[in-house]
Structure formats: C-alpha cells, structure tokens
Amino acid sequence: MALRRLQRLAVAPLSFTGGATTQVLREMSTLPRVYVTRQIPPEGLRILRDSRQVQFELWDSDDVPVPRKELLQNVKGVDGLLCVLTEKIDAELLDAAGPNLKVLSTMSVGFDHLSLEELKKRGIRVGYTPEVLTDAVAELTVALLLATSRRLIEATHEAKTGGWGTWRTLWLCGYELANSTVGILGLGRIGVAIAERLAPFKVKKFIYTDVAPRPELAKAINAEYVSLDELAKQSDFLSVCCALTPETNEICNKDLFAKMKNTSIFINTSRGGVVNQEDLYEALSTGQIAGAGLDVTVPEPLPTSHPLFTLKNCVILPHIASASYSTRNAMSALAVNNLLLGLRGQPMIKELKL
Ligand SMILES: O=CC(=O)O
C-alpha cells in the first residue's frame, strides 16, 4: 500500500554513474542508522537529508502510524530513533532495537509515551521539543476556553440547523473572563503563556497549584499559589497544564469536580490521562460544572460513540494544540537536531535529564 511504504533514504542524492553510486552506498553502510517512525514535517526532513551524517529509514505516512509489529522489526540494529507521541517506547521496543541504540528523539514536549527508566538503564540519551510549541499551545488553549465558555460550537450548530429563532435574552449565554478567577493546574512555560494571553480579557485573579510554589514563573503573571482544593473552589476557569506522571494520573476526578463551582469551565490541553473521564461525564451531565474543553482524551482518537460526545457542554478537539505549520516544522527541526547532536556525542539542544 503506497501510504504505508517504508522508504529508505540516502544521505546524499544517489549518482547514476556506477562508481559514484557504489561509493555512496559504501558510505551509507558506515554511517549511523536511524529510524523515523513518521513522515515528519519538511523542515526536519530537510535537515536530516542534508546532514550527510546518518542513513535513515522512514515510515512514509502521516495518516497511519507504523504498526507495532513493523516498528519492532524496523528498529532492529538502529543507532538512533526519532519518534512521535503515538509510539510507546518501552522495554520490548528497546530490546528489539538492541544495543546499538544510543539516542532517542521524540517530536513532542510530552514524554509519557517513553519508559524513562528503561531508557536510563540502557544509557540511551533522550531529546524532546519543549518551548518551540509554547505559543501555539497557549493560543489553542485560549481558543478552546472561549469556544467552551461562550458555547461557540453549540451556537454554530444552532445557526446551521434552524435553531436560530428570534433574538432571545438568555439563549446561548455563557461565562465571561472579565472579573473571573483563572486557575492553572501545573504552572510551567505553557501555563504562563496562557495567563499572559488571558490577562487582557480583564481576568481579576490568577491562581495556580503545583508540587511546590514556582515564584519566578508566578511573578510574571502575578499568580497566587494555592492548594489543589482551593484551586478547585476558587477557579471560574480551570486550565490543566501539568505533565502526565504517576502523581497526576486522574488527578482531575470526582473529588476535584465536586469542589468546583457549577458555573466553572474546565479546560485540558495537557494529557487525557490526568482526567477521570467517567467522573468528568458525571460532573458535566449533572450540572456540577458548566462546561469542559478537551484537546486530549483517553484513548486517542476518542471513539465517536463515547458518552462525552453526547454532551453539548463538552467541546472535544483531536489533540491539535501545537498544530500550526510553523510550530510543527520547528518541532521537527528541533527533534532532528537533537538526534544528530546526540549521535555525535554532543549536548542536545533540549535533552531530558534521566
Ligand atoms: O502533545 C503534544 C506534545 O507533547 O508535543
């Protein structure tokens, strides 16, 4: 099938003169081998091609992830691996790759798909792509928040399907940011960038919680550190920005939703795993909270039959927070540069400390 074909790409254009071709092939065989699990955006691909540092094979599709069985086969003996967040990098995969594998580079800021313990045990260095996506994610979070709180999806649906009768005094009313309290669960670069964008909407107060206060970051947005309980109680808008870890797994559950105001809006652009989705469904369908905007779910894609899709007060996006052309190209370039630096034994631009 054309889409699923595996491409073997030379590090330099192959010459058609016999001698030169042989030379390139010989050169190829001594260069480090890299496997790329997805057709990555052009900027990264160009850097990889032009580097002449590696020979690489690529799963030549962006529509269908490489099937696990093929992935296990294709990584055999590689020195470097470039993956995206759909690939689970665990002991089985690392064993399949074997001892040559020295560098893993993920084109994502999140790394919950990587078994860090297994990577560390094998001395494999890990690159990831923070910072380059902060603006795009913050922008999308604001868009999702407004779409949810001002009921934009419901409103366009009504307009298109004949629900638009006379102008009505309380029809499709939502909640506004002016004079509100915005809570951030997990304050990092993205949380700060979201708050910076929301401040001009005349937010009254920013509050946040995290494992510990982060005064340097909080100062930039004049945010107050509070407990998780207080965050739930005080927030008119609660935006989840934390990484998915064993500590944050399903941290947004019925206990949290029960403490929230029935006028509050819940937004998640981090990872679906931080939310207990049954509890969220209950909170939304019983009016315990006013609405939810989710860019991430468990599983992804969320089956179209999922109960959350039946709720008018739940806006669900298909994990697109970083999806702008410039950001995805920047992520692919950073992922490739991390990989190439790692394979040269140099510090990566963005390397995870294991
Ligand atoms: O979710 C997106 C990422 O981790 O980059």
Residue 34 to residues 10, 74, 188, 336, Cα–Cα distance (Å): 11, 10, 32, 11
Q: What is the pLDDT of residue 26?
A: 36
**Locus of tokens 């366009």:** 156
294 alpha carbon to ligand 1 midpoint, in Å? 14
Q: How far is the C-alpha of 264 from the C-alpha of 241, rounded, in Å?
A: 17
Q: How far apart are the first and last CA of the chain?
A: 39
Tell me the CA–centroid distance for residue 174 and ligand 1, in Å.
29
Single-letter amino acid code for the residue at 165: G
Cβ–ligand 1 distance for 85 under 6 Å, the answer: yes
Q: How far is residue 124's CA from residue 79's CA, in Å, rounded to a whole number?
A: 10
Q: Is the Cβ atom of 110 under 6 angstroms away from ligand 1?
A: yes
Q: pLDDT tens, 88-143?
A: 999 999 999 999 999 999 999 999 999 999 999 999 999 999 999 999 999 999 99
Our separate counts of H helices and E strands in the chain read: 13, 13
Token output for 104 = 């893993």
| CA gap 231, 212 in Å, rounded | 14
Model confidence at 304, pLDDT cuts 50, 70, 90, reads: very high
Nearest CA owner, ligand 1 atom 2:
108
**Model confidence pLDDT, tens digit, residues 47-101:** 999 999 999 999 999 999 999 999 999 999 999 999 999 999 999 999 999 999 9
% of residues, the chain, pLDDT over 70: 92
User: Phi and psi at residue 112, in whole multiples of 5°?
Assistant: -70, -10
Kindly report the number of other CB atoms within 10 A of residue 26's CB atom.
9
Question: 85 CA distance to ligand 1 centroid (A)?
Answer: 7
Cβ-contact 284, 291 below 8 angstroms: yes
Q: Regarding beta strands 205-209 and 80-83, do their DSSP bridges make them parallel or antiparallel, or are they unpaired?
A: unpaired
The helix or strand, by DSSP H or E, that contains position 20, with its residue range, turns out to be helix 18-30
Q: Is 319 a catalytic residue?
A: yes
Query: Mutate which of 140, 319, 322 to test ligand 1's pocket (most atoms within 8 Å of Cβ)?
Result: 322
What local confidence, expressed as pLDDT, does residue 163 receive?
Answer: 97
Indicate whether residue 109 lines ligand 1 (CB < 6 A).
Answer: yes
Q: Would you say the pTM of this structure is higher than 0.80?
A: yes
pLDDT of residue 189: 97
Whether 191 has a pLDDT exceeding 80, the answer reads yes
- The best mutation among 86, 105, 108, 327 to test binding of ligand 1, ranked by most ligand atoms within 8 Å of the C-beta, falls on 108
Chain segment 207-220, per-residue pLDDT in tens: 999 999 999 999 99
265: helix, strand or coil: strand
108 lines ligand 1 (CB under 6 A): yes
Q: Which pLDDT band holds residue 29 (cuts at 50, 70, 90)?
A: low
Cβ 322 under 6 angstroms from ligand 1: yes
Cα 288 to middle of ligand 1, angstroms: 30
Ligand 1: nearest atom to the Cα of 108: 5
